[in-house]
Amino acid sequence: MSDCYSLDYRIMAVSHFQLIALLCRTIKEMISDALEEFTTRKIVTNQVLSHSIFNAQIAALVEQLKSTIIANIKHINDFLLFNIVENRIYLGLRTNYFIQAVPRAPTNKFIPAKYKTLNSMCSCLTNNNCVHQAGIYNSTGCTGV
């Protein structure tokens, strides 16, 4: 992997797709678990239900299942975002911190990324909504890209 230009999409693409794959697996497992739990539910009543009442109860249970799944996905998203922002975790996508490497220096510096927006600069240290478009950049002298 090259450290030529952090916002070159070729550098972050593998991490990006690994993150998407992990998110998809997590959501698939969450939905599978919710459906398994849903199928174990039973309706017990001491009266015979009409077709319309039965359908209404099933529709309410399905809506509750959908709401629960959406709330769980939002909870996971909020939890991950909170941990990344508050714990200042260095993302594999290289979008929240730049690495400043000095030749022959024993350590690297991690510098919070600052992105130029339309009218100002946005710092990932103080704002969790900083965005910057990744691109493919043609740099000479970079290897490993």
- The tens digit of pLDDT for each residue in 60-72 reads 999 999 999 999 8
Q: In angstroms, how far is CA 24 from the centroid of its own chain?
A: 10
- What parts of the chain have a pLDDT lower than 70? 1-7, 84-103, 108-119, 123-134, 139-145
Q: Report the pLDDT value the prediction gives residue 29, as an integer from 0 to 100.
A: 93
Please name the residue that has the structure tokens 């490993």: 144
Tokens read off for 4: 């030529």
Q: Rounded distance, CA 80 to CA 86, Å?
A: 10
Q: Report the pLDDT value the prediction gives residue 51, as an integer from 0 to 100.
A: 94
pTM of the full structure:
0.57
Give kind and range of the element (H or E) at residue 100: strand 97-100
Within the chain, how many helices (H) and strands (E) appear?
Answer: 2, 4
Residue from 80, 105, 103 nearest 93 by CA: 80
Q: Convert the pLDDT of each residue in 31-68 to its tens digit.
A: 999 999 888 888 888 889 999 999 999 999 999 999 99
Q: Report the pLDDT value the prediction gives residue 1, as an integer from 0 to 100.
A: 41
Q: Report the pLDDT value the prediction gives residue 145, as an integer from 0 to 100.
A: 46
Q: Rounded distance, CA 130 to CA 7, Å?
A: 13
**Cα 62–Cα 66–Cα 72 angle in degrees, nearest 5:** 140
Phi and psi at residue 130, to the nearest 5°: -65, 130
Q: Report the pLDDT value the prediction gives residue 107, as an integer from 0 to 100.
A: 75
Q: Rounded distance, CA 90 to CA 124, Å?
A: 11
Number of residues assigned to the chain: 145
